[in-house]
Amino acid sequence: MTTTHLNGHHRTTLASIFRHPVARNVEWHDVLSLLDNVGSTSKRHNGGYDVTIGSQHYALSAPHGKDAEGDDLRDLMAFLTRAGVSPDTGSTGTTQQVEPAPQPCIVLVDHHQARLFGLGGVDANPTTPIVLVPEDVDGSRRRIEHRQGNDDHDGGHSGEEDAYYERIATHLADAPRIVLLSDGKGRSSAGEYLVDYLKRRHPAVVGHIVAVHRVAISHLTDSEIVAAGLALIEAG
């Protein structure tokens, strides 16, 4: 358990780190002041800092100018969330106890793979996903079964593909909060099919989904996926 006391300036910096789209003009010395307040920092020989909050550790790179940069802010937001520090846990002038927040699971899914972030435990890198792929990764079995008129599953999905969604559901069984990101609409959306599958087979898991959002999957890095998912949680 971590005891924090955030003044108004710290709360403003914390809110800027969690802003979506990524905030500009977040000054480096303000970030360090916040991190020293909620945890501890030690300077490394390359100018960066090792940051510790409770049992969580993070290597923070120094920016080229006076402001923290976009990618660093996204990674820092993921680290702070993992450590249980967010705008919702900020103090209003009195000391309070901050419990580590439940680790959210951010799922990026299409018909070729699912990337599940946040399931590696509290000490895992939040931007390193568990990757699941269907056995029928090229979709050939689905195309064959569709031509044969096999509509035993909603949307004409084959049994093999349902096995793919079942594996995703198994990994999500204990996730307290889930953000689902996918592209496409209707039958072309693996995200929409996953939600429908969970409603039919795992209704308890559906209750843990806090946001479903369409994204351009091919244009997102792992860090951007995590940042987008955490922003949806904060907005919700």
Q: Are residues 207 and 172 in the same domain?
A: yes
Report the predicted TM-score, pTM, of the whole model to 2 decimal places.
Answer: 0.53
CATH of the domain at 116: 3.30.420.60
Contact in structure between 24 and 116 (CB atoms under 8 Å): no
Highest mean pLDDT among 40-44, 63-67, 196-200: 196-200
Q: Are residues 67 and 111 in the same domain?
A: no
Q: Are residues 126 and 153 in the same domain?
A: yes
Residue 19 binned pLDDT confidence (cut-offs 50, 70, 90): confident
Res 187: pLDDT: 67
Q: Are residues 50 and 65 in the same domain?
A: yes
Tell me the per-residue pLDDT of 119-137, one tens digit each, with 9 for 90 and over: 865 555 667 889 999 986 5
Q: Helix or strand or coil: residue 82?
A: helix
Q: Are residues 91 and 110 in the same domain?
A: no
Question: Can you tell me which residue has the tokens 């509290």?
Answer: 122
> 159: domain range?
105-235
Res 60: pLDDT: 84
Question: What is the pLDDT averaged over residues 163-187?
Answer: 89
- Residues 119-157: b if buried by 16+ CB within 10 A, e if exposed: beeeeeebbebbebebebeeeebbeebeeeeeeebeeeb
**Higher per-residue confidence, 92 vs 3:** 3
Q: Helix or strand or coil: residue 217?
A: helix
Q: Are residues 176 and 208 in the same domain?
A: yes
Q: Are residues 111 and 223 in the same domain?
A: yes
Q: Are residues 123 and 82 in the same domain?
A: no
* Domain tally, the chain: 2
**Nearest residue to 174 (alpha-carbon basis) of 98, 102, 81:** 102
Q: Are residues 72 and 121 in the same domain?
A: no
